[in-house]
Amino acid sequence: MQLFDVAIVGGGPAGSSCGAFCAMGGLQSLVIDREKFPREKVCGDCLNPSCWPVLERLELADRVRDLAHSKLYSVEFVSIDGCGVTVDLPSGADCEISLKRSLLDDLLLRRARELGANVHEQTTVTGLSRNDHWNVETDSGDFFQARILIGADGRNSTVAHLCNLLPRPARERVALQAHIPLPRDFGNRIVLQFLREGYSGQAAVNETQLNLCLVGMPPTISKLRRWAERQFQLPPDQSWRTITPLTRSPVPSAHENLFFVGDAARVVEPFTGEGIYYALRSGELAANAAAKILCGDDRQLALRNFTHAYSGMYRGRLWINRLAREAVLRPKLGSLFVHAARIRPEIIKFLTAKIIEKL
């Protein structure tokens, strides 16, 4: 049986980025995902400009721009009573764009494969054990061995669960998402709309479709769905993708021969649209650390450097995300903030600029 240097569970942005960077670094890497790609994923589909430098390093930036997408030139915050304040986003080649996750994630996974990663789709990891190496069991009966294991399997990480590291589920919100016909004259904007029962995010993903997300508590999510049906004239049998939890406590990202990246490690409030960036970048950082450990560098130093760079990725941004979480958990408070921003827009402009700042 082949012994891989690195086995990565999950082929979303975190896992594909990690697999691609491992392969670039000459490591024998394996990426396992339970889905067959291309597949959709509950997401606002917005690609924060911070992603571009990582995509450049993956030599993918132009290929991402070639995918069907929509450029986003502004974000409009709307209060419960319908008042709006608009903040401009940067224009140019590295502007914020939105594109379907089926397209982006498929391209990322293909890139990992092109660079030499072994990719197994439609394979669900079901068991883990450890002796000298990691032993990875799957539902297909395939069995893999690897020196280093990476959990890149999203917010409900099986790897974290099997390692007894997944935080206990709290009473959390649920998100619904659909691609619906693009309303006429919607424009190149993101709409973030506070609603009595939660919030909604909207952005065009191409010339004909709008990404529509709804976030609320399980007992009232049906009210949000009815609001969306009225607002966008949706049929009652509109199909929705769904996910929960929206946020949870983080899982420590670095352990001996085990890393967690992307949502598996930390899930941030989606309102600020940064998750894909954290996934891509943490995948890259874990690949660098794995390469150092496997080529015999000082393990403790490699882990310390990883931890430092990993927390640096969130530095100066996490507090804004926490602020956004406070606002969306209390939509009336969020709406007051929108009203205040209509009079004094500097603060909301500053916060938005920090969130899309390139690192």
Ligand X SMILES: Cc1cc2nc3c(=O)[nH]c(=O)nc-3n(C[C@H](O)[C@H](O)[C@H](O)COP(=O)(O)OP(=O)(O)OC[C@H]3O[C@@H](n4cnc5c(N)ncnc54)[C@H](O)[C@@H]3O)c2cc1C
Binding site residues, ligand X, CB under 6 A: 9-15, 32-35, 41-46, 48, 124-125, 152-154, 158, 175, 177, 213, 215, 243, 246, 262-264, 270, 273-277, 279
* Cross-strand pairs, 211: 179, 203
Q: Which residues contact 41 (CB under 8 A, 6 or more apart)?
A: 12, 101, 102, 105, 241
Question: CB-wise, 35 or 63, nearer to ligand X?
Answer: 35
Question: CB-wise, 232 or 336, nearer to ligand X?
Answer: 232
Task: Tell me how far, at minimum, the Cβ of 304 lies from ligand X, in Å.
Answer: 23
Interstrand relation of 125-130 and 46-47 (parallel, antiparallel or unpaired): unpaired
CB 15 within 8 A of CB 31: yes
Question: CB-wise, 13 or 25, nearer to ligand X?
Answer: 13
Task: Tell me how far, at minimum, the Cβ of 69 lies from ligand X, in Å.
Answer: 13
DSSP letter string over 211-265? EEEEEE-GGGHHHHHHHHHHHTT--TT---EEE--S-B----SEETTEEE-GGGT
Task: Tell me how far, at minimum, the Cβ of 179 lies from ligand X, in Å.
Answer: 13
Task: Tell me how far, at minimum, the Cβ of 47 lies from ligand X, in Å.
Answer: 7
Question: CB-wise, 279 or 294, nearer to ligand X?
Answer: 279
> 3-state secondary structure string, 175-226?
EEEEEEECCCCCCCEEEEEEECCEEEEEEECCCCEEEEEEEECHHHHHHHHH
Question: CB-wise, 28 or 202, nearer to ligand X?
Answer: 202
Question: CB-wise, 275 or 334, nearer to ligand X?
Answer: 275
Task: Tell me how far, at minimum, the Cβ of 157 lies from ligand X, in Å.
Answer: 7
Question: CB-wise, 24 or 160, nearer to ligand X?
Answer: 160
Task: Tell me how far, at minimum, the Cβ of 330 lies from ligand X, in Å.
Answer: 18
Question: CB-wise, 48 or 335, nearer to ligand X?
Answer: 48
Q: Which residues contact 184 (CB under 8 A, 6 or more apart)?
A: none
The whole-angstrom separation of Cα 195 and Cα 178 is 18
CB 31 within 8 A of CB 120: yes
Task: Tell me how far, at minimum, the Cβ of 90 lies from ligand X, in Å.
Answer: 16
> Phi/psi of residue 5, each to 5°?
-65, -45
Q: Which residues contact 33 (CB under 8 A, 6 or more apart)?
A: 10, 11, 12, 15, 109, 119, 120, 121, 122, 123
The whole-angstrom separation of Cα 227 and Cα 82 is 13
The whole-angstrom separation of Cα 244 and Cα 174 is 5
Task: Tell me how far, at minimum, the Cβ of 281 lies from ligand X, in Å.
Answer: 11
Residue 116 falls in which region: left (phi positive, over 0), alpha (psi -120 to 50) or beta: left
